[in-house]
């Protein structure tokens, strides 16, 4: 199975993504690293640990990471994901998942070196830890098999500002560094906004024991306003699309482009700028998802829900 390290800020869609990864036989989750984002890092770390406990995966080590962006002020999104950054009332985690003293950025570098070119690093939160890891180890991109990033809004509008998606907007300087220098595969909002689990698959989950109730909360975390604004009938589970692609690399269609992230300036902060027409003459520095096989995504999600609930 494929070794994967996941950098995360749970987060309702993160929680679904983590369960999908933990429960799939083709992936070996070698660790979770946590970052500020949907909530302060103390909360996202607690949430990551509580998720591991909920599925008896306390063997997966957790490393806590950055508590703030590189340069801009911390902004969190409890208004979307619930108090503490995660709906669904998971019990407090016990000592087994206690993070040690190793910072997430160091853990990323250590794991990349240890797997010698085989590790997939999946990021589903702001990119602060990865930018720090790259500062510590400039060869990070070559040490990884793949860096796959949920972030940016490549050919569409953002969800925090008209131009920017939350993960890139939260730490635009980190996103800029990673996009420029780390050869990522970007899974942006324009494809993840349609990555939802249909209401008929979600209905009834709330009666499927405590974990079913949590899953129900995570899969329905958008309020009516948000659903209407995006013209969708159930919540976008952005982060799980990254995991679906790791499980089956036919889920996304990607294309290489020269690209940049706007870090400064009010209006463009965190905007992913894709040079579609090649006007900059710059070399391609990463891939961007341009389409997804949503039917396959929903199949993988359904199978994952079943496995989680069978526990």
Question: In Å, what is the CA distance from 67 to each residue of 105, 157, 292?
Answer: 12, 27, 33
Residue 82 lies near Ca ion (rule: CB under 5 A) = no
With beta carbons less than 8 A apart as the criterion, state whether 185 and 201 touch. Answer: no
Residues numbered 3 to 32 that lie near Ca ion (CB under 5 A) are 9, 11, 14
Residues numbered 109 to 148 that lie near Ca ion (CB under 5 A) are 124-125
Residue 160: CB minimum distance to ligand BDR, A: 8
CA-nearest of 183, 148, 191, 179 to 4 is 148
Query: Which range binds ligand BDR by CB under 6 A, 11-19, 96-104, 137-145, 200-208?
Result: 11-19
Residue 240 lies near Ca ion (rule: CB under 5 A) = no
DSSP annotation string for 16-57 = HHHHHHHT-TTEEEEEEEE-SSSS-HHHHHHHHHHHHHHTT-
- Residue 134 designated active-site: no
Query: Which range binds ligand BDR by CB under 6 A, 158-166, 175-183, 212-220, 299-307?
Result: 158-166
Q: Which is nearer to ligand BDR, 177 or 238 (CB)?
A: 238
Out of ligand BDR, Ca ion, none, which partner does residue 43 contact, by CB within 5 to 8 A per kind?
A: none
CA gap 44, 40 in Å, rounded: 6
CA gap 190, 158 in Å, rounded: 8
Token pair for 301: 């999600």
Residues numbered 39 to 98 that lie near ligand BDR (CB under 6 A) are 77, 80
Out of ligand BDR, Ca ion, none, which partner does residue 126 contact, by CB within 5 to 8 A per kind?
A: none
Residue 87: CB minimum distance to ligand BDR, A: 12
Q: Which residues bind ligand BDR (CB under 6 A)?
A: 11, 13-14, 38, 77, 80, 124-125, 150, 159, 165-167, 189, 238-239
């Amino acid at each position: 199975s494929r070794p994967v390290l996941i950098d995360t800020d749970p987060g309702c869609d993160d929680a679904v993504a983590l369960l999908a990864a933990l429960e799939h036989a083709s992936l070996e989750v070698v660790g979770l690293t946590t970052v500020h984002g949907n909530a302060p890092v103390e909360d996202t770390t607690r949430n990551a640990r509580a998720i591991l406990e909920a599925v008896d995966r306390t063997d997966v080590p957790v490393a806590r990471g950055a508590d703030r962006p590189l340069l801009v002020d911390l902004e969190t999104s409890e208004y979307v994901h619930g108090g503490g950054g995660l709906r669904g009332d998971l019990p407090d985690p016990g000592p087994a998942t206690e993070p040690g003293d190793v910072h997430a950025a160091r853990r990323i570098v250590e794991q990349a070196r240890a797997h010698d070119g085989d590790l997939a690093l999946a990021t589903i939160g702001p990119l602060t830890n990865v930018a720090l890891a790259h500062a510590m180890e400039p060869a990070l991109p070559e040490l990884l098999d793949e860096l796959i990033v949920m972030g940016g809004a490549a050919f569409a509008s953002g969800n925090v500002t008209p131009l920017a998606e939350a993960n890139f907007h939260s730490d635009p300087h980190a996103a800029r560094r990673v996009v420029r220098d780390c050869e990522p595969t970007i899974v942006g909002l324009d494809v993840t906004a349609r990555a939802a689990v249909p209401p008929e698959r979600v209905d009834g989950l709330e009666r499927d024991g405590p974990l079913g109730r949590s899953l129900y909360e995570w899969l329905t975390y958008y309020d009516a306003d948000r659903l209407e604004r995006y013209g969708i009938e159930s919540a976008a589970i952005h982060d799980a699309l990254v995991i679906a692609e790791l499980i089956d690399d036919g889920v996304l269609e990607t294309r290489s482009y020269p690209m940049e992230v706007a870090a400064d300036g009010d209006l463009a902060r965190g905007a992913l700028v894709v040079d579609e027409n090649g006007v900059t003459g710059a070399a391609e520095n990463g891939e961007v998802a341009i389409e997804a096989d949503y039917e396959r995504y929903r199949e993988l999600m359904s199978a994952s829900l079943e496995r989680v609930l069978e526990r």
